[in-house]
Amino acid sequence: MFTLDEAFAPVANAVNSLIFFSVKAGNVEVPLVVLWLGGGSIAITFLLRFLNLRGFTHAWKILIKGAPTDHNTKGEISHFEALSAALSGTIGLGNIASVPIAIALGGPGAIFWMLVAGFFAMSTKFAECALAVKYRKIDGEGRVSGGPMYYIEEAFSRLKLPRAGKLLAAIFALMAVGASVSIFQVNQSYAQFERVTSIEAPLLFGIVMATLVAVIVLGGIRSIARVTSRLVPAMCLIYLSAGLVVITVNASMIPAVLQQILEGAFGLDAAAGGAVGAMINGLKRATYSSEAGTGSSAIAHSAVRTNNPLTEGYVALVEPFIDTIVVCLTTGLIILVTGAWQADVPMGIGMTSFAFESVFPWFSYILCISVILFAFSTAVSWAYYGSKAVGYLSGNSPRVDTIYKLALCAVLSLGATIELAHIVDFIDAMLFGMAIPNLLAVFILLPELKRDISQYERTLGQAEPVSVLGQGGGADKVPK
């Protein structure tokens, strides 16, 4: 029988060939877009003088205490709510299913390179989210529209190429719409639900999930923030607590596992393509997990309430730390200390499930709850990202926004009932493709951002840092 997935195959294959064009490195295929993302993060880190380290403590201070505000402060949600909304889009099945895939394909050394990628990704998050707040648009009712679409336009206007900027911004927005179709999340969460409960009701599961997503996203970013600010801490606590139990039970394996990670990372074993295989698989999965460089999270961060966009840049750099360094490391250790990566189980979430069940059989229920929460939160955040991208393309038409959200939820309701291989390949290509125009714009605006940071850091000793960045689309320019 000819399926929807098979019908989509020619489109998916064509787009994948373009976005994931690869070169050979030894026996490993290296997608150039992964090098673009990884190299971009390293360059930004050096150019910002390791702001991910220098600003880490300050980021937590802002997150805990909040940035100075007054009655004129623009924005819709708090720093914590903005971080939660963005984390809900990045903490998902990538943390549970992609990490074991990285280990299976690249060996234990992939974990080391995943952590390295997460470290440098913190700088990229800072840059793209600070710029998203700086060049956001705010309407008369206080609703925010922000994201890379707007600073891509600004960046190319600086180069006196406004038409190129509008074209690249539109391409970014179209790819964001494509990436927003989170049917993989629905499909895989149902697979785990069915595995644990033996209940076969894919359509009903999809309809319930899509309905809940619709209820939240139709309320806008404030509704999303209210839910995610409670959901994200809860789901992280559930998953990390369960993971800690598994690691503690297998604590005797930790020294051997750390040795495996280091030996695999630097090619001291011959498995999985040596150091190159470990590095590429670690970088790919870290990028998929944190989405740093793709510009997706910047859409959520742009709605923050602040007098100075740099404050949200600092908060945003915490995101890859939590998502990649904490959550992904936990998953990786669970897989390795239990030996799940060498067990005869399905690659991906099956390995994670095996690892949990090796300690207590009922842990599979905890994983099932975590998977469903992760999938739901990811679908909610990406529906918002997609709606803002549609808003950019449609001139923020309320009617088009509502049609998009309802159409998206209708598609999500079918996510558990159809084969997804080629469709998911297409969605992944859209996500990684967003990084091309996004990072181009970030690099163009980076000198300006560096000046803003220098001025901000000089004022940190004052009671309230001076607002060096403009609100409402960058109306206030940085002094030359």
Token code pair at residue 368:
């099932």
Just give the CATH number of 26-456.
1.20.1740.10
- Give me 70's structure tokens: 């007054």
Cα distance between residue 75 and residue 146, in whole Å: 11
Do 321 and 122 form a contact (C-beta atoms < 8 A)?
yes
pLDDT computed for residue 470 by the predictor: 44
Using one digit for the tens of pLDDT, what is the confidence trace for 363-403?
A: 778 888 888 888 888 888 889 899 999 999 998 888 998 89
Distance CA 195, CA 375 (A): 16
d(CA 212, CA 231): 13
Q: Which amino acid is at 391?
A: G
- Under 8 Å between Cβ of 182 and 350: no
pTM: 0.86
| The pair of three-digit structure tokens given for residue 328, joined into one six-digit string | 């992904």
Residue 306 half-sphere exposure toward CB, CA atoms < 13 A: 35
For the chain, list residues with pLDDT below 50.
Answer: 1-2, 270-273, 463-480
Q: Which pLDDT belongs to residue 276? A: 60
Question: Residue 89 corresponds to which tokens in the numbers above?
Answer: 């889009």
Q: Which of 119, 182, 129, 110 is nearest to 323 (CA)?
A: 119
Neighbours of 17 (CB within 10 A): 11
Alpha-carbon dihedral sign for residues 181, 127, 305, 72: negative
Residue 275 Cα distances to 20, 24, 342, 438, angstroms:
21, 14, 19, 29
- What is the sign of the dihedral through the CA atoms of 147, 153, 154 and 158? positive
pLDDT in the model for residue 14: 84
Domain spans of the chain, in order of start:
26-456
pLDDT at position 217? 83
What does the alpha-carbon distance between residue 194 and residue 202 come to, in Å, rounded to a whole number? 8
**CA-CA distances (angstroms) from residue 244 to 238, 280, 358?**
10, 27, 14
Q: Which helix (H) or strand (E) holds 31?
A: strand 28-31
Of the candidates 210, 137, 119, the one whose C-alpha atom is nearest the C-alpha of residue 414 is: 210
